[in-house]
Amino acid sequence: MSGPGRRRTGSGRAAPHPAPTPSDLSGTVAEDLALYREKFRRRLPESLDELRGPTHGVVELPLHMAWSGMTSYDLGKPRQRMGLYRTVLHEGLHEDLPRYLNRDLLLQLWPVLRTLAGRTVRTVWEDAFPQLASRTRAAA
């Protein structure tokens, strides 16, 4: 059962695909990373001014964002507030961001929040909104 695109394994059976070479992997990883970044870029608002979410009270997140943990966040509690923002940045869709994030609160939280967000999320947001990156430098 051998043929083009198949190689023999140690057992004598044909493997369905040739083993990827390191150069194939680096290209695949780069493509995957580019797609992952684009996923977050498409979700961004045009401007931080669109972010008019709540600044106090209890926020209930829908299941498509809070699928693996807390769904209710008290904005009066710093850890819950940070958890809400991290969850929305990672899991929120384009239409969720203005509803659940607040511009002023995001700017205030960003120096710490950026350390909790994944590298891709952090980079996409700071590239799109230089005022976030400048808040980080000012806080340092």
**23-40 pLDDT, tens digit each:** 555 677 777 777 778 888
In a domain, 3, yes or no: no
Structure tokens at 68: 């693996």
Instruction: Quick: pLDDT tens for 129-140.
Output: 999 988 766 665
What's the pTM?
A: 0.74
Structure tokens at 108: 């205030």
Structure tokens at 120: 């891709």
Higher pLDDT, 120 or 3: 120
Per-residue confidence at 20, pLDDT binned at 50, 70, 90? very low
- Separation between Cα atoms, residue 126 and residue 134, nearest integer Å: 9
Per-residue confidence at 12, pLDDT binned at 50, 70, 90? low
User: Residue 13's pLDDT is what?
Assistant: 53
State the total domains in the chain.
1
Q: Where are the alpha helices (DSSP H) in 1-140?
A: 22-43, 78-91, 96-100, 103-116, 119-128, 130-139
User: Residue 67's pLDDT is what?
Assistant: 80
Domain of residue 132, residue span: 21-139
Higher pLDDT, 105 or 19: 105
In a domain, 71, yes or no: yes
In a domain, 104, yes or no: yes
In a domain, 2, yes or no: no
In a domain, 8, yes or no: no
The yes-or-no verdict on residue 68 having pLDDT over 50 is yes
- Separation between Cα atoms, residue 67 and residue 3, nearest integer Å: 45
